[in-house]
Structure 1
Amino acid sequence: MKTKKQKIIRILIGIGIFLVLLIVLFFAFRNTILDKAIDRIANKMERDYDSKFTVKEASFQGLTGVSMQEITLVPKGQDTLFSIQKMETSVSFWHIITGNVQLGTLHVENGFVQLVKKGDVKNFGKFLKRDASEANLSSEKSEKRDYAELAYNLISKGLNLIPTDMNVKNLAFRLDDNGKKANIKFNELRLADKQLETSIRVQTNTFTQRWKIKGFADPRNKKADIAFTNIDTGAIKMPYFDERFNLKSSFDSIRVNVENIDMSGGELHIDGFSSIKNLTVNHIKIAKKDVVIKDARFDYHLLLGEDFVLVDSSSTVMLNKIKFNPFLEFNTEEDTIYKMKVVIPEMKAQDFITSLPEGLFTNFEGMETEGNFDFNLSFIFNKNKPNDLVFDSKLSKNGFKILKYGEANLSKLNGEFVYRAIENGRAQRGVLVGNANPNYTPLSEISPYLRKSVLTTEDPSFFSHKGFITEAFKQSIIKNIKTKKFSRGGSTISMQLVKNVFLTREKTLSRKLEEILLVYILENNRIVSKERMLEVYFNVIEWGPNVYGIGEASNFYFQKHPSQLNLNECLFLASIVPRPKGFMWKFDDQGNLRDGAVKMQNYLTNLMLRRGVLTADDTIYKSFPVVVSGRARSFIRIKEIDSTAIDSVEISDEFDF
């Protein structure tokens, strides 16, 4: 027994001696080892990235400190990627041995990092490329990745590289994208005793500002609470995006809080919040004017597992007075599935109206309501089973009532008003919607064939839905996802009416959101009857170049009153609703319908017969040709058109029946 203990003691002593010798040798030759390490990095930069990495002077300082002078990285034939005059840092020797590298201190003086693009050539481009073997290896690994472990390792390694004691002076980040420039200079950045404070100067081609970042930062315990504010008066402007994307944005302050990052039971929990004050955004695709969000906050609870990433429903989003609970999930356990649920608990309708971002819902500004509502939305998409898409929404009202309309007075549809179409941002001639207009046609005087044809092509369930067709939205989403573009919409006659009468034709996020909300209010508050909506629709929509309303259209094409139109003429008119200015493309140079247009009419007729909208007796005169006798004929005669232009168009491209 004693002999065994003695052997163990001797082994431990031997290991101790070996470690001591190893440490002594390391400290004896550590500068040589450091030089070799720098040489390896330089060789790799030259071999793999055709770049020159140099360090003029490098040495150890004290037990764990490293000092380097004049560090540069220059891609061959390109602008310098980065240059630092002086850098000192310390790394725990024991952490190096265990592989858990942690920076203790970091002091940087006088340097810059710059990203330069000249034409299509980037000085950082070679660092973005990977060879085929690396890409294939990454693809193979991605199928087996553990999202929780991957995220935790990345976060841990990243935070370990943030020193607990940091002092950075005169370090600039420069961006030059073919003359679009931004220079963000850290005059001084200090992190000491877990307190972070910076002084930043931002300069672009269009403005100069001074920013400040201040707060609490504890990288070792994975916690932070940092505020981003402006030293000068006014809002903080975002650099570069205004010149590069014509996107102007600013804010008063941003706060980011990380309260907890914890890995347990194979799951990663990340908790905290972020907030922003007076966010202002201006872009032609968003709205015609500035969009302002005064106060927004996101209290997040993120959860990552082996095969999922989700935002837990205990998270909350505050948008002014609007508060809701989002649930988002990406899951690859069996199939690739995307889930989204949004729950808005019961709230005052007026609080909702006043909380809408300024500039995004101009037609609602000034609206007054009473009562409450709550809302639920559910969305599930299986990438491998796209046709099983789930899209459900439910809005419940409690005493909801509109006391005063905003800019869009929906009740005007019940009386006479002047309609002006908007073309290329300009209001067109006024069209009186009322009996004083000789071309105005009441619904009862419009050929029933035209009513049936247009309803079949544009909105078969118009008289039964509440402004939206859930199934149409589902099919639109499915097709848009498959084609990876907005190739199909789910527009109803209600939506077209609101768009024509109250909105412009601009393709902005603002206009689409306003359209959805206005349609919901119109259809769900008994403001206008369905019959009246359809009557106004027929009398305001465009039927050709400067032709508005069915009264003008009947005369323009056939020199008839709308009540006298036959089936074939109605089928033709229904077919041009999506593209009225291109009606002449349906005819040859003799004034006869092309084969493709005839096939379209036959398809529509058979569809209406199958649905019981038409009877066999209605088609007795179906063989009669469509003869354009009005002013429209002059448009046809001056066109020489390739016959394949229409014949090649698929039915589904023009109509979503």
Structure 2
Amino acid sequence: MDHRLRNRLIAVFGGIIAFFLLLIVLLFVFRGRVLDYTIDRVVTRVENKYPADFNIGSAEFTDWTSVVLTDISFVPHGLDTLFTTDSVNATVSFRSIFAGRVVFKRLEVANSYLTAVKSGDKTNFGFLFKKEETQEPVDTTGEGRNYGELLNRVIETAFENVPDQVDFRNLNASYVSTNRTIDVKMPYLRMDDGEIDSQVSVRTDSLVNNMRVHGTIDPRAYRIAGSLYGFDNRGIRLPYVKNKFDAEVAFDTAHFSLDSKEFRNERLTMRGSAMVNDLILNHEKLAGEDDIHVEESAVDYVVTLGPNLYVIDSLTEVRVNKAKANIYASYQNEDSKVIDLMVKTEQIPANDFFQSLPTGLFENLEGIKAQGQLQYDMKFHVNMDSLKQVAFDSDLDASEDFKILEWGNTNIEKINGTFMHTVYEYGKPVRTFPVGPSNPFYSPINQISPHLRNAILSAEDAGFYSHNGFHEEAFRQAIAENLEEGEFARGGSTISMQLVKNVFLSRKKTVARKVEEAIIVWLIENQDLVSKHRMFEVYLNIIEWGPDVYGAKDASRFYFGKQPSELNVAEAIFLTSIIPSPKRFRASFDSYGNLRSHKHGYYRLIGGHMRRRGLITQEEYENLYPNVRLYGRARDLIVTAQDTSVVEEDTTQYELETIDLLDF
């Protein structure tokens, strides 16, 4: 190489090196100004945005890339101080200095206090949540807010501002109002090389949770995983659930993760997992007063949020102890509110299924041992604008070798013989009696009038002898009505379900009771544990028909002073009519003992069903009218009119009128 060219190259590279050395010297000399400039910009931006004073006592470099900030405070105008911290030691990204701004790579923060105060309608933090005046108005005529886009922005902002290293010492946060106090104390929070470790104590009014937090984070891949442990033997209890939902939730350990996220075509899809150990739930509508205990519950989730769309993907797998199921759920509200839900399991060992049922939820099923396999499949669809079109299908299938090997808390087959039956009201036992020949009020089914049997079947469950315990169409109608009413207004129960409810379950309308009822009915009907004939006989001998009146024989004597075999069609239809509300039996009569006019339609309906099914003759149908004569104890409770002659006269008139009204 020509020595002149070589000398030129050396000179050029030397100049470049000299330039960079000069630049580094200048940056070192003026880095304080860069820091001051950045601090001034931050303070100005904050104070222009919020009616508050943002103060930083001092800010200076302690070496090439280390900064210390002291006496930091955020004080709303005319209000209590919202935030203070003694010091922040930070390592600054050298690259950010070249860009003329300061980005922190490592933070050490000591003695920080966030104090939120609410007094009446006045707070020292409310201004943080007010919309800016320059904000564009929300378009209420077009699409709603895209929560997927919003959450994606929050996730990206949070992850992109995570420092490489964090060491917080003595962090404190509190919220104080007239009727609520929350205190959070964090002795330390450390994050180093993606590892997170912290200890937290949260006092919510009188409830204290002491927790240990450990996790990992990868900001570049938007991944985070963490575990929350109870720091003492009291576990972790969720606050305010009791006050707001009249429920209690507690657990020992919780694990969670966000494994990936993708935002495409205005939709955010997140994948991850969560697991909770020793979960305790208590809510009256779930299982009454009993605690529900789940030893281990987990979910591997795939969730998508978009414009007017919320979806739990069918790849989502839920596990309760050993039982697993894939879940699909979606809610769309673009044009109308549409809800879809699907649950599907692979074949599960029957023993795992029963052992996985949460304790406290299905008392009668606890302790069952079985062989074989079970598989469940459920589909539900509803358009909230057309509730009559509810679609619901539910199937529990068993392998050919499925068999109950041992009963647990309750022997379901006990109803095949004499057993003791306890009647409960408001969760308390009110009467216990044997169901069998030892009870003088027990009637074999062949000693009960066919008119009563046929009237009950026509009104309550016409397909009892042909279905497998469930009437899917009635259940779909019940779901539609319950959704419309917003409560358990109707159950869609078959006689099989009513029998199970009366013999084995409490009378409280809870989600757990309906599920347990369905499982027991499935066992009885699909495993042929009890014959239909026996089920109907037990049903007729235990159902309530009035004040301390249980069974057909007791009812026949109470109302009519006769044996159940002697009941005529009109008496049978009357007894059938009060089965849904036996305690309101008086409402069926006036003070003279005559059936009230609102019974006319019921007699027409049930009588017509019985005639069309050939259960009564045309002549019996034509001679049928809604009137019965009371005898026995019921008459003393119902008939209060003093002039008996008037009673006879009015009764005759009533009988003539009802024949006309029914148009037989």
Corresponding residue of 2:383: 382
Q: Per-residue deviation at 1:34?
A: 4.3
Corresponding residue of 2:423: 421
User: Does 1:327 pair with 2:328?
Assistant: yes
1:180 and 1:240 in contact (8 A); partners too: no
Q: Per-residue deviation at 1:231?
A: 3.0
Q: How does 1:110-509 map to 2 (within 5 A)?
A: 110-114=112-116, 137=138, 139-140=140-141, 142-143=143-144, 146=146, 148-174=148-174, 181-204=181-204, 208-233=208-233, 235-241=235-241, 247-264=247-264, 267-287=267-287, 288-304=289-305, 308-331=309-332, 336-398=337-399, 399-509=401-511
Instruction: Give the 3-state SS of the residue equivalent to 1:406 in structure 2.
Output: coil
Query: What amino acid is the match of 1:194?
Result: G
2:167 and 2:189 in contact (8 A); partners too: yes
- Answer with 1 or 2: which has the greater Rg: 2
User: Does 1:69 pair with 2:76?
Assistant: no
**1:579-619 CA distances to partner (integer Å, 9 max, x unpaired)?**
11111012222222222223332333334445555442222
User: Does 1:602 pair with 2:604?
Assistant: yes
CA distance in 1, matches of 2:367, 2:220: 51
1:576 and 1:583 in contact (8 A); partners too: yes
**1:534-557 CA distances to partner (integer Å, 9 max, x unpaired)?**
111111011001111111111111
CA distance in 1, matches of 2:142, 2:92: 31
Q: Which moved more, 1:30-39 or 1:317-326?
A: 30-39
CA distance in 1, matches of 2:247, 2:200: 22
Q: Per-residue deviation at 1:577?
A: 0.7
Query: What amino acid is the match of 1:310?
Result: V
Instruction: Give the 3-state SS of the residue equivalent to 1:314 in structure 2.
Output: strand
2:261 and 2:268 in contact (8 A); partners too: yes
Taking structure 1 as reference, are residues 298 and 564 closer, same or farther at Cα in structure 2, changes over 3 Å only?
A: same
Q: Per-residue deviation at 1:469?
A: 1.3
Taking structure 1 as reference, are residues 126 and 618 closer, same or farther at Cα in structure 2, changes over 3 Å only?
A: farther
CA distance in 2, matches of 1:623, 1:209: 68
Query: What amino acid is the match of 2:445?
Result: L
Identity %, equivalent residues: 32
CA distance in 2, matches of 1:95, 1:532: 83
Corresponding residue of 1:3: none
1:74 and 1:81 in contact (8 A); partners too: no
Corresponding residue of 2:651: none
Q: Per-residue deviation at 1:412?
A: 1.3
Q: Which moved more, 1:541-550 or 1:468-477?
A: 468-477
User: Does 1:570 pair with 2:592?
Assistant: no
Query: What amino acid is the match of 1:465?
Result: H
2:50 and 2:128 in contact (8 A); partners too: no
Instruction: Give the 3-state SS of the residue equivalent to 1:154 in structure 2.
Output: helix
Query: What amino acid is the match of 1:469?
Result: H
Taking structure 1 as reference, are residues 245 and 128 closer, same or farther at Cα in structure 2, changes over 3 Å only?
A: farther
**1:167-225 CA distances to partner (integer Å, 9 max, x unpaired)?**
43333344568656553311222223222111112335655453110121223431112
Instruction: Give the 3-state SS of the residue equivalent to 1:494 in structure 2.
Output: helix
Corresponding residue of 1:651: none
1:251 and 1:279 in contact (8 A); partners too: yes
1:102 and 1:160 in contact (8 A); partners too: no
CA distance in 2, matches of 1:407, 1:462: 28
CA distance in 1, matches of 2:607, 2:135: 58
Q: Which moved more, 1:348-357 or 1:585-594?
A: 585-594
Taking structure 1 as reference, are residues 473 and 294 closer, same or farther at Cα in structure 2, changes over 3 Å only?
A: same
Taking structure 1 as reference, are residues 130 and 428 closer, same or farther at Cα in structure 2, changes over 3 Å only?
A: farther
Q: Per-residue deviation at 1:75?
A: 9.4
2:449 and 2:567 in contact (8 A); partners too: yes
Instruction: Give the 3-state SS of the residue equivalent to 1:71 in structure 2.
Output: strand
**1:231-269 CA distances to partner (integer Å, 9 max, x unpaired)?**
334533334445665544332211112221233566533
Q: Per-residue deviation at 1:486?
A: 2.6
TM-score by length of 2: 0.80
CA distance in 2, matches of 1:392, 1:150: 36
Query: What amino acid is the match of 2:595?
Result: L
2:143 and 2:308 in contact (8 A); partners too: no
Q: Per-residue deviation at 1:407?
A: 2.0
Q: Which moved more, 1:310-319 or 1:265-274?
A: 265-274
Q: Which moved more, 1:606-615 or 1:596-605?
A: 606-615
CA distance in 1, matches of 2:597, 2:419: 41
Instruction: Give the 3-state SS of the residue equivalent to 1:528 in structure 2.
Output: coil
Taking structure 1 as reference, are residues 533 and 589 closer, same or farther at Cα in structure 2, changes over 3 Å only?
A: same
CA distance in 2, matches of 1:58, 1:38: 16
Unpaired stretches in structure 2, ≥5 consecutive residues: 1-26, 643-664
1:35 and 1:58 in contact (8 A); partners too: no
1:286 and 1:510 in contact (8 A); partners too: yes
**1:330-350 CA distances to partner (integer Å, 9 max, x unpaired)?**
345775432222111112101
Q: Per-residue deviation at 1:528?
A: 0.9
Taking structure 1 as reference, are residues 639 and 468 closer, same or farther at Cα in structure 2, changes over 3 Å only?
A: farther
CA distance in 2, matches of 1:559, 1:409: 36
Taking structure 1 as reference, are residues 526 and 93 closer, same or farther at Cα in structure 2, changes over 3 Å only?
A: same
Q: Which moved more, 1:342-351 or 1:27-36?
A: 27-36
Q: Which moved more, 1:616-625 or 1:123-132?
A: 123-132
Taking structure 1 as reference, are residues 326 and 634 closer, same or farther at Cα in structure 2, changes over 3 Å only?
A: same
Taking structure 1 as reference, are residues 401 and 639 closer, same or farther at Cα in structure 2, changes over 3 Å only?
A: farther
Corresponding residue of 2:556: 554
Corresponding residue of 1:533: 535
The counterpart of 1:542, out of the listed 544, 549, 564, is: 544
Corresponding residue of 1:9: none
Corresponding residue of 2:13: none
CA distance in 2, matches of 1:131, 1:445: 80
1:420 and 1:428 in contact (8 A); partners too: yes
1:159 and 1:222 in contact (8 A); partners too: yes
Instruction: Give the 3-state SS of the residue equivalent to 1:262 in structure 2.
Output: strand
**1:136-188 CA distances to partner (integer Å, 9 max, x unpaired)?**
82644544x55653442232234345444434333334456865655331122
2:611 and 2:621 in contact (8 A); partners too: no
Q: Per-residue deviation at 1:325?
A: 1.5
CA distance in 1, matches of 2:78, 2:499: 59
CA distance in 2, matches of 1:401, 1:117: 64
Taking structure 1 as reference, are residues 167 and 612 closer, same or farther at Cα in structure 2, changes over 3 Å only?
A: farther
Q: What RMSD in Å do the two structures reach over aligned CA positions? A: 3.9
Instruction: Give the 3-state SS of the residue equivalent to 1:327 in structure 2.
Output: strand
Query: What amino acid is the match of 1:216?
Result: T
CA distance in 2, matches of 1:494, 1:343: 25
Unpaired stretches in structure 1, ≥5 consecutive residues: 1-19, 44-52, 641-657
Query: What amino acid is the match of 1:187?
Result: P
Query: What amino acid is the match of 1:250?
Result: A
